[in-house]
Amino acid sequence: MAEVVVVGAGLIGLGIAFELAERGVEVTVLDRDEPARAASWAGAGMLAPFSEELPDDAMLTLCRRSLAMFPAYVDALRERSGVDVRFRRDGTLHVALDDARLAELAVDAETYRRNGGEVAMLGRDDVLAREPLLARNLSGAAFVANEAQVDNRRLGRALLASCAERGVRFERDADVALECDARRVRGLRTRHGFTPARTVVNAAGAWAGELAGVPPEARVPVRPVAGEMLAIALPRNAMRALVWLGHRYLVPRDDGRLLVGATVDERGFDARVTAAGLHDLLDAALAVAPALAGFAVVETWAGLRPGSPDGRPFLGTTALEGYVAAAGHFRNGILLTPITARLIADLIVDGRSDGLAPFAPGRAAAGALAAATNHVA
């Protein structure tokens, strides 16, 4: 019997599998698709807990803990896998194109500071000295120095190789159902047969709410939220910082590609790239950096974020013994990979649930969910 079966081979599932395998647990990972695809592949890899709109202090604390884990995490993965995931702490620029926006940013900067951001207000000349491709007529920016990025596609490769090196088994099957008796989980049924397991972890991202066979009281209400993106080819190092444009952003990669993301659309399991989506992204990007107009668009893609009703993920034990949730990370799955892996492994291996209470999956059944939109103050 596999001790643990993880459903979902995205970064969250791979991170949990790797952490469990490091602690000596026998793990199987099951996915409908290739590992490290879907949102894990589609994301931009921003590690930006101060710039992101987080619903509350519990989520901010979780995100900050995970950000602090990254330097050691990427070193450990490089040692295991040989893959450099290009962790870069170049900070985030929130650019104001006019004085009214700059005044708003000065207020936002206080919030970022209170939340732990290392923030400086920069004038036009300072901003343009750092990032010459930005609009010459901008008014200034708020710069959050302690935010970072990783190349999430490389992070996927690193985790996959690290899991393989630790003996994690992988299975691919689109047709998966949880099997349980009146008391607890028994394992998973696939087209290929039955895989018994002591613990099943649902890390199925946007599909986490769809897993068949889960009793209603143990379900997690995760829904897909589409994000479209594109990449522009720039000369290497033509930009360094993340540039934040409300919900949209520019993310410069080491290879010269500039990622432009992302739309936020509730339209079910629809991961198409649309004309309206590209229009929206290019509009925002060219407003803040008109010099991008002459460069080539080299890639477009879309992914489905796993949304949760209150903006917090579902982490921990459910109403069904042996069935654990690790899903609903919405815009912060890449950032939250190390801390999610640690907390879920602490739970499964040592029975410890420290830090998990605000993320309890049971809050869904208990009706304790409120829609979250407020920036942490």
Q: Given the rule CB under 6 A, which residues bind ligand GLY?
A: 43-44, 46, 227, 261-262, 305, 331
Whether 177 and 212 have beta carbons less than 8 Å apart is answered as: yes
Q: Min. distance of Cβ 40 from ligand GLY in angstroms?
A: 11
Using CA atoms, how far residue 62 sits from 99, 206, 241, 337, 352, in Å, is: 34, 20, 24, 11, 16
Q: Min. distance of Cβ 227 from ligand GLY in angstroms?
A: 5
Ramachandran bin of 212, using left for φ above 0, alpha for ψ from -120 to 50, beta for the remaining angles: beta
Q: Min. distance of Cβ 315 from ligand GLY in angstroms?
A: 18
Nearer to ligand GLY, 64 or 331 (CB): 331
Using CA atoms, how far residue 67 sits from 127, 203, 238, 332, in Å, is: 25, 20, 26, 11
Q: Min. distance of Cβ 363 from ligand GLY in angstroms?
A: 23
> Residue 349 has which token pair?
């291996």
Nearer to ligand GLY, 94 or 186 (CB): 94
Nearer to ligand GLY, 257 or 305 (CB): 305
Q: Min. distance of Cβ 42 from ligand GLY in angstroms?
A: 9
Nearer to ligand GLY, 47 or 122 (CB): 47
Nearer to ligand GLY, 227 or 316 (CB): 227
> Residue 207 has which token pair?
């599909």
Q: Min. distance of Cβ 326 from ligand GLY in angstroms?
A: 18
Task: Tell me which residue of 85, 336, 127, 155 sits closest to 244, measured CA to CA.
Answer: 127
Task: Tell me which residue of 288, 371, 329 sits closest to 47, measured CA to CA.
Answer: 329
Task: Tell me which residue of 329, 369, 323, 376 sits closest to 348, measured CA to CA.
Answer: 323
Q: Min. distance of Cβ 331 from ligand GLY in angstroms?
A: 4
Nearer to ligand GLY, 178 or 335 (CB): 335
Residues in the chain, how many?
377
> Residue 12 has which token pair?
């969250």
Nearer to ligand GLY, 227 or 277 (CB): 227
Nearer to ligand GLY, 303 or 316 (CB): 303
Contacts of residue 368, Cβ cutoff 8 Å, sequence gap at least 6:
none
Amino acid found at 75: D
Q: What angle do CA 298, 295, 241 make, to 5 degrees?
A: 90
Q: Min. distance of Cβ 323 from ligand GLY in angstroms?
A: 27
